Structure 1
Amino acid sequence: MSSTLASLLTVITAAAVSALLCVLLRPLLLRYALARPNARSSHRVPTPQGGGIAVLAGAFAALAAVATLLPPAGGLGGLGFVAAAAAALAVVGAWDDIRPLSPGLRLGLQALCVAIVIVYAAPDLRLFPGVMPLAVERCLALLAGIWFVNLTNFMDGLDWLTVAGFVPFTVALAMAGLAGLGDPATGLLAAALCGGLIGFAPFNRPVARLFLGDVGSLPIGLIGAYLLYRLAGTGALTAALILPLYHVADSTLTLLRRLARRERVWEAHRSHFYQQATTNGRTVMGIAIEIGLLNLALTGLAGLTIWMPAAPVQIGALGLAMLLTGLLMRRFARRRPS
């Protein structure tokens, strides 16, 4: 089986399993896992959460099925640790959905899962071998991983936002794997996550009939962080910075602003730029489409940095990505003209 066929089969299988599980699980989630609207919510009617179970199950079922049809591929061994850590984080998220955990315990469990991925799924990966010791680099990777897990959760506050954020960059990473950038297993993992989200997308389309919940957003953030870490490890650090730039910029700037105002940053709020956009008169569908289009542009710029590794191209592409992201956030922060 060719690599292209394997990736396509992974996407299709993951999407089919994810969609089927969304149908089967929704009645149960309606009964036991309703997200009820409050003053900080973006939805207005009680909506079941837990669709992340379907996304993860679809992704890992497809990955396991396709892997059995392929000859041994580089990186497959590490995916077992990624799957185990993602499953553990899903349990943490499910528990938090039903009975909220204390911020300290939640953060500690997240750190443990991220550490497992760094140490066991990517033991030989170095980004700055001649610049800093391994221990320092891993501490920075741990902090970055924890933040990416949490920002994925923070940014899952509107219908289709996680789909608009993750589908473009998982497609890009799956294609990078086909092009020989990185190991084949990482490319298949990206294809599997992409398929799982595609299967979930019709149920999360505004107005959503199903939410991911923390059971989905936390492990999806972990898998996304791992994929970007792997991409950076191939030498494509600029591309790894560009691909998730909107999610990273919106969540990070919002956190810094809340810290400056001395707010309790672990409590729910409506300060994100995408949340300001709804307050300023934009539709949920319109916001998701604009973010999705930006992410397609970021994917193109990331691809350019891989194709043309010269320093001026890297700097220029990163600068343009930051400019486009900043312009969209500024647009969201302004009231829409009547």
Structure 2
Amino acid sequence: MLMTIGWLLAAFLITALLVRGAIGYAHRRGMLDLPGQRRSHRLPTPRGGGVGIVIAMLVCLPGVSWSAPAAWPASVLAGLLAALVLVALAGWWDDHRSLPILPRLGAQLLAVGLFSLSLLAGGLPWWWLPLLLLGGAWSINLHNFMDGIDGLLAQQAIFVGGGLAVLAWAANQPALALAAACLAASALAFGCFNRPPARIFMGDVGSGSVGLLVFAFSAMLWRVDSALLWPALILSSAFAVDASLTLLTRMGRGRRWYSAHREHLYQWLARRADSHAWVDVAYLGWNLLVAAPLAWLAWSHPRAALAITMGVYAGAAIVWLYLKRRLLRRHPSKSLHVTA
């Protein structure tokens, strides 16, 4: 218990101290997100605060692996740390000056590939590699896409990190449980600076890294017990559905899906409510009232887990389509400003 509290406090304090420093650093380097047509904030706000989460996890992951029972092989830990460094460096570069999409995607695929190979080395068939590459790259990018209003991604990282920690603990994986809990503690520290109105944004260095860690911890759970994949996916349902349906809609309409825009449901809701906090509450409501209990149901009834997961994602898609259509009907003129 003391060890657990110690690592959680370490993750929280390291993040908090580094985020405070990142605010001053961003102001000195001019790393400010300015208000604009494709942004959802009104004041110039520093970015790059996610570096605090990255450093905290780089410190805590080895310590947790060495000190907690059921530690993962050193090769898996090394693969995860290397992947985290690669994704963070690409994001840090992009936060300072725009990094073209191909080098950024290349770094992400290399990172996911390194981690996936370390995971597959335990005896899994190699044909899983393309699926892991796709899942990891999408997790990195969808978390980046969903980091567009104050507090939302930090809140999601707390919820998903905590949920994955519970699943890992139930699967007798204390080291993995503590690692996921450290992610939640680190996100909580960052959230103290990112809650509306935000003092600093996570930036690509943080959003991509959170996406990688969510993917990695979920994949590690799947490696322990394949049935645990379904409750893990349910925990991420709100983000996965919003990002995926928005991307498919933009691609179907022939738009540049990779360019900045404000067409995600959470962005429409923020404009409609004129509040980031209310949107955070809405997504938290889905997580607590739908995702959490149904993730538990999928965990406790593994034979029905796939059907439950499909039902959650279908329900989330229906809610997304209903709300998006209703918002477009009420404010058709606003759609003209987000079609790039």
The normalised TM-score by structure 1 is 0.88
1:270 partnered with 2:268: no
Deviation of 1:324 after TM superposition, in Å, equals 4.7
Q: Distance in 1 between matches of 2:252 and 2:77?
A: 39
Q: Distance in 2 between matches of 1:295 and 1:152?
A: 16
- SS class of match (2:273): coil
1:221 partnered with 2:211: yes
Q: Distance in 1 between matches of 2:64 and 2:133?
A: 30
Q: Distance in 2 between matches of 1:258 and 1:93?
A: 24
| 2:24 corresponding residue in structure 1 | 27
| 1:166 corresponding residue in structure 2 | 157
Deviation of 1:210 after TM superposition, in Å, equals 0.6
Q: Which amino acid aligns with 2:178?
A: L
Deviation of 1:190 after TM superposition, in Å, equals 0.6
Q: Which amino acid aligns with 1:169?
A: V
Task: Say whether the 8 Å CA contact 2:233–2:309 is kept in structure 1.
Answer: no
Q: 2:294 aligns with which of 298, 301, 313?
A: 301
| 2:46 corresponding residue in structure 1 | 48
Q: Which amino acid aligns with 2:134?
A: L
Q: Distance in 1 between matches of 2:74 and 2:150?
A: 33
1:251 partnered with 2:243: yes
Q: Deviations over 1:264-295 (max 9, x none)?
A: 11110111111111222352101011112212
- SS class of match (1:280): helix
Deviation of 1:162 after TM superposition, in Å, equals 0.8
Q: Distance in 2 between matches of 1:325 and 1:292?
A: 17
1:9 partnered with 2:2: no
The number of equivalent residue pairs is 325
Q: Distance in 2 between matches of 1:259 and 1:55?
A: 32
Q: 1:18 aligns with which of 10, 15, 18?
A: 15
| 1:237 corresponding residue in structure 2 | 229
Q: Which amino acid aligns with 1:270?
A: R
Task: Say whether the 8 Å CA contact 1:26–1:48 is kept in structure 2.
Answer: yes
For 1:134-213, list aligned pairs within 5 A. 134-181=125-172, 183-213=173-203
Q: 2:278 aligns with which of 260, 279, 286?
A: 286
Moved more, 143-152 or 57-66: 57-66
Q: Distance in 2 between matches of 1:310 and 1:316?
A: 10
Task: Say whether the 8 Å CA contact 2:60–2:179 is kept in structure 1.
Answer: no
The normalised TM-score by structure 2 is 0.88
Q: 2:82 aligns with which of 50, 68, 84?
A: 84
Q: Percent identity over the alignment?
A: 32
Moved more, 78-87 or 199-208: 78-87
Moved more, 172-181 or 224-233: 172-181
Q: Distance in 2 between matches of 1:307 and 1:62?
A: 30
Moved more, 248-257 or 226-235: 226-235
Structure showing greater relative contact order (alpha-carbon pairs closer than 8 Å, 6 or more residues apart): 1
Cα pair distance change 1:180/1:76, threshold 3 Å: farther
Cα pair distance change 1:280/1:196, threshold 3 Å: same
Q: Which amino acid aligns with 2:151?
A: W
Q: Distance in 2 between matches of 1:279 and 1:240?
A: 30
Q: Which amino acid aligns with 1:283?
A: S
Task: Say whether the 8 Å CA contact 2:294–2:308 is kept in structure 1.
Answer: no
| 1:96 corresponding residue in structure 2 | 94
Q: Which amino acid aligns with 2:8?
A: V
Task: Say whether the 8 Å CA contact 1:85–1:117 is kept in structure 2.
Answer: yes
